[in-house]
Amino acid sequence: MQPITIARELFGTDGIRGVAGEPPLDARTAHALGVALGTWARRLPAIAGTEPEVLIGMDTRESGSWLAEQVAGGLLRVGVGARFAGVITTPGVAYLTRSGRFIAGVMISASHNPYYDNGLKVISHSGYKLPDEVEAELEQLIAEWLASGEEAYRLPLEVDPSLDNVYAEYLAGTVAGKFPLRVVVDCANGAATQVAPYLFPRLGVEVDWLAVSPDGRNINLDCGSLHLGNLQRRVTEIGADLGIAFDGDADRALFVSGSGKVVDGDAVLFLAGSSLKRAGRLPGDLVVATVMSNLGLQKAFESEGIVMLRTPVGDKYVLEEMLKRGAVLGGEQSGHVIFSEYATTGDGLLTALRVLEIVRDSGRTLDSLSDDIKPFPQKLVNVKVKQKRPLIELPAVQAEIQAAEVEFAGSGRIVVRFSGTEPLARVMIEAESNEAVERWTSRIADAIRLELGSVN
C-alpha cells in the first residue's frame, strides 16, 4: 500500500481547517485526529488519578455531529473516553477543559466562515492552544494512521446538557448585580444560541434576539459580527441601549451603539483598558494589540498614560505577548478580546459582559464612551490570489509600499500580509485622509494582483 501524504502543515493558525467532507476535514482524517490525540494523551500523567477523557464541542454547522463522532471513534480506538458538550462556544470548551478533568478539548468550528467549512481545534488541559511541537507530533501520528489503511468508524455521542450551564454560570459569576439595559443580541445562528439565551436574561438584561434559529446551514449567513446591518437597524428601530453581535463560535464580539454606530475591538480595548487602569487593575499600564489596531487607539491610550504593544495578527501572538509581559488585556480590532483574569482565550460573551458592566457603571451611553477614541480613516482590502509568495520577492508591491511610506512620513500605516487560513492577501491602510486611504489600498492591491494573479 502506498503511504498517504497529507499537507506539510496540517495544523494551521487555528487548528485543522477545510471544507467539511474533503481532506483534511474528511471522515478518516477526523478519526485519525482522535487516534493521534488519544495516543498522545495516554503518554501524559493522569489528571487526579482518572482515565484520560477528552471534551468535544461544536458550533451549529451540519457537519459538526459526524466530525465529533469520528473524533470520538478515534479516541475510543486507543482507549480514551469522550464527553460531548454538543453546541457550545470555543471559549466554553477552553473553560471546561481547564476547569474539569479533561486531558484535552476539541472544538469543531470554522468560526466566521460559511457553513460548508469546518475545523478541528485542539485545546490542552491548561485551556491554551497546543504548543507547535505537540501539533507536529499529532500530525505525524495522523499520517501514520492514515497510511495504515484501517477503517474509520463513528462513536455515537449523547450531549451532556449540564456542561453549557456550568460555563454560563461561570460567566455570570464574573459580574455583580443586574443590568437594567435593553440590548439587541445577534447570535449569528451559531454557538452563542445555546448559551446567550440562558445567560443574559438571568442578569436582568432585556434582550431582543436576532439569528437564534440555526438550521445547520445559516451560521454567519447575513448575520453575526461580519454582517452588522440587521443589528444596526434593529437597535435604532426599537431604541435599544446597544447591540451585540457574535461570530459563529462566539470567541469574538462586536457592538453597535444606540445611534447605530459600530463599536469595534479597538474601542472595546480602549474602554476596558481605561476602566481597568482607573480601578488599579492594569499591571504595567499595558495593553496588547496587533498591527491592525488603529493609530487612533494608540493615541487614545497615550492620552490615558497606557502603553500599547503591537503583535502580528492573530490571537496566538496577542496571548503570547500577554503571557510574556504579564498583561491582563489584549485583543484585535475584529472583536477578539482576551481578559486573562477570567479566560485563556478570546470570549465574545465575556467581552459583552465587560462592556455592559462599563456602560452601567459609568452612567454613560456606549455612543458617549466610544467618542473618546478618534479613529484614523482606515480601509482593509482582501485580494484573492492564486499563490502566496514572500512579499519581499514582489518588487512592484514593495515599490508601492515604499512610495506610500514616503508620502505618509509617519502620519499613516501600511500593513500587507497573507491570511493564515484563506488564499487572501490583506492590504490595510491608515492615513489622515480618506482620499489617501482609497488611493493607496487600490494601488497596492493592484500590484498584488499583477504579481500573484487574482481569483474572481
Residues taking part in catalysis:
111
3-class secondary-structure state, position 35: helix
Beta strands in 323-375 (DSSP E): 329-331, 337-339
Residue 327 contacts residue 286 (beta carbons within 8 Å): yes
Residues 6 or more apart whose CB falls under 8 angstroms from that of 145 comprise 31, 32, 35, 36, 74
DSSP 8-state assignment for residue 45: P
Q: How far apart are CA 396 and CA 447, in angstroms?
A: 6
Cα→Cα distances 197→24, 204, 207, 212, Å: 34, 12, 9, 9
Half-sphere exposure in the Cβ direction for 190 (13 Å, CA): 35
- Omega into 24 within 30° of 0, i.e. cis? yes
- Give CA–CA dist 255/253, Å, rounded: 7
Q: Give a three-class secondary structure readout of 98-131.
A: HHCCCCEEEEECCCCCCCCEEEEEEEECCCCECC
60 CB neighbour count, 10 Å cutoff: 27
Q: Considering Cα of 258, then 259, then 264, then 270, what sign does the dihedral take?
A: negative
Helix, strand, or coil (residue 455) = coil
Helix (H, G, I), strand (E, B) or coil at 88: coil
